[in-house]
Amino acid sequence: MQLPNHQILENANKIVIKIGSSLLIDAQNSALKQAWLNALSQDVNSLISQGKQVIIVSSGAIGLGRIQAGFPSGKLKLEQSQASAAIGQIALARAYENAFKSHNIQVAQILLSLEDSENRKRYINATNTINTLTSLGFVPVINENDTIATSEIRFGDNDRLAARVASMINADLLLLLSDIDGLYSENPQKSGSAKHIPLIKTITKQIIQAAGSSGSDYGTGGMITKIMAAQIATESGCSMIIADGRENNPVKAILNGKQYSLFSAQKSGNPARKKWLNATLEPKGSLYIDQGAQNALTHGKSLLSAGVTKVEGKFDNGDTLAIKSANGQIIAHGLTNYDSKDAGLIIGKKSQDIADILGYAGRANIIHRNNLVHVQTTEEA
Ligand code: GLU
């Protein structure tokens, strides 16, 4: 079944387009594909002239920089890839500027780190900057700040970065332009019976398995990071498309009927803060809870110390934590009222005993219900 192609793109007002390195760099000639980028700028111009806002998340800094630095092919050391990013980001920004200026579109560069999306204040700040730029008619071109991010605290792939950006600015559509036209039941390069999946309404275990078996041999971040991106985007109320962007004018190609995979947005009634909490990638610690507390949470109650069985990690008051069931499944994210030391002292204890145990009158709950958000499970639909 193929979807009505025009609808999803035509209905979207705010579109984040993610462009993978393989689309921008010609590995054989070690050069930027300026003609492809010029054609993309036509597509973006046509979206903008229909009154839509477009935000670009572009990879390519490391790929371009390594060519200029003369690094050999193969895996780079961390400092080499960071140096490459510093060198290549300038070329990347210039390439966008050149391509878009022929349509009188001005671009603006933003480099984000994981912390900019995980820390609430920095998140709001980044959101405001992007929104200001788009309202002024600029097209933000975003990449990860690869030059300083270390491996433990970085996105590492622009699929999830793009999804976080889409969620941040309440985009209605995230378009991942890749070197494959969507999700298949298995790796199409290895199996002749692999079936294209045009519409994914719920990200089930089978979908995750299909992405896993698709392997990571195609697409920069592999299919798994794209599914993780889909989880972040769709749970924030943003639909996501994976489309093949290799030919010129990939957006026009979608409008003309080229096949793609669409992940439908989930209806998200969550306010902005809960959306942000839901999409947290790196909780600072975990609280394991018993069945009674799990039932209470399902009924929209706060998390009390009595229902917590184990504290994991080192965290401060106000940090984001994962709330886990006895078997370790994440069921919610929440902002803690206690640091890990005090939380460790009060778990399993009644709320009225907290003051005696800690020597100060703390909050009655470990996590207030307003600061809790349920994480969607990926059980079969
Ligand atoms: N941020 C990296 C770059 O610009 C790319 C990350 C990715 O390929 O997803 O080169």
CB 337 within 8 A of CB 362: yes
The pLDDT confidence band at residue 375, using thresholds 50, 70 and 90, is: confident
Could you tell me what percent of the chain has a pLDDT over 70?
Answer: 93
Give CA angle at 334 (128, 305), nearest 5°.
Answer: 150
Say how many Å lie between the CA of residue 175 and the centre of ligand 1. 16
Q: Ligand 1 in contact with 21 (CB < 6 A)? A: yes
Best substitution site from 67, 113, 157, 223 to test ligand 1's pocket, by max atoms within 8 Å of Cβ?
157
Ligand 1, atom nearest to 81 Cα = 10
Q: Ligand 1 in contact with 43 (CB < 6 A)? A: no
Best substitution site from 19, 24, 32, 59 to test ligand 1's pocket, by max atoms within 8 Å of Cβ?
59
Say how many Å lie between the CA of residue 195 and the centre of ligand 1. 28
Residue 111, SS3? strand
Extract the tokens encoding 322: 């994962």
Give CA angle at 247 (217, 178), nearest 5°.
Answer: 35
CB 313 within 8 A of CB 286: yes
Q: Ligand 1 in contact with 235 (CB < 6 A)? A: no
Say how many Å lie between the CA of residue 145 and the centre of ligand 1. 10
pLDDT tens by residue, 250-276: 999 999 999 999 999 987 666 777 778
CB 185 within 8 A of CB 212: no
Checking if the pLDDT of 2 tops 50, the result is no
Could you tell me what percent of the chain has a pLDDT over 90?
Answer: 60
Unique residue bearing structure tokens 């697409």? 219
CA distance 11 to 135: 19
Of residues 183, 186, 179, 176, the one with CA closest to residue 239: 176
Whether 5-274 and 284-374 share one fold: the answer is no
Q: Ligand 1 in contact with 62 (CB < 6 A)? A: yes
Class of domain 5-274: alpha beta
Question: Residue 380: its pLDDT value, please?
Answer: 39
Among 38-52, 181-195, 255-269, 323-337, the range with the most confident prediction by mean pLDDT is: 38-52
Checking if the pLDDT of 370 tops 80, the result is no
Domain 284-374 sits in CATH at 2.30.130.10
Checking if the pLDDT of 340 tops 60, the result is yes
Tally Cβ neighbours within 10 Å of residue 160.
25
Question: Residue 215: its pLDDT value, please?
Answer: 45
Count the helices and strands in the chain (H runs, E runs): 15, 17
Extract the tokens encoding 236: 């924030």
Percent of the chain as helix, strand, coil, to the nearest 5: 40, 20, 40
Taking all residues of the chain, what is their mean pLDDT, rounded to a whole number? 88
CA distance 276 to 204: 22
Pick the more confident residue, 191 or 95: 95
pLDDT tens by residue, 35-68: 999 999 999 999 999 999 999 999 999 999 999 9
Checking if the pLDDT of 1 tops 60, the result is no
Say how many Å lie between the CA of residue 158 and the centre of ligand 1. 6
The pLDDT confidence band at residue 129, using thresholds 50, 70 and 90, is: very high
Please state the pTM of the whole predicted model: 0.79
CB 314 within 8 A of CB 334: no
CB 334 within 8 A of CB 301: no
Checking if the pLDDT of 316 tops 80, the result is yes
Q: Which residues of 38-66 are buried (b: 16+ CB within 10 A; e: fewer)?
A: bbbbebbbebbeeebbbbbbbbbbbbbbb
Q: Ligand 1 in contact with 65 (CB < 6 A)? A: no
Give the residue extent of every domain in the chain. 5-274, 284-374
Extract the tokens encoding 352: 């009225």
Checking if the pLDDT of 148 tops 60, the result is yes
Across the range 25-29, mean pLDDT stands at 85
Ligand 1, atom nearest to 64 Cα = 10
Q: Ligand 1 in contact with 22 (CB < 6 A)? A: no
